[in-house]
Amino acid sequence: QVQLVESGGGLVQPGGSLRLSCAASGSIFSTNRMAWYRQVPGKERELVASITSGGSTNYADSVKGRFTISRDNAKNSIYLQMNSLKPEDTAVYYCNLVPWREAYWGQGTQVTVSS
């Protein structure tokens, strides 16, 4: 059974940085496109950034130039470096496949950007 565990969230001031990590219990990363998603209460889950097994990346327009997704297949992990954070980045962040698998949603990690 695969589990995805997100970590690294927290409270940060506008303009600050955070680095999120996602670790999988199973070896699902090696051949799959992975992504970070985020969700604000009352809104649909949004795909923030994705990365293929070969390392090609895509970003939502709202985070281009500020966020960087990376992966380490040997560690079954993906990461999201978030710089120049804005209050509108406040959300719960999740990792999952692309397209997502309902059964793989973890608890997520809360990111709050506030002064």
pLDDT by residue, tens only, the chain of 115 residues: 778 999 999 999 999 999 999 998 766 766 789 999 999 999 999 999 999 988 999 999 999 999 999 998 888 899 999 999 999 999 999 999 999 999 999 999 999 999 9
Tokens 């809360």 — which residue? Answer: 110
pLDDT at residue 27, rounded to an integer: 64
Contact 39, 92 (CB under 8 A): yes
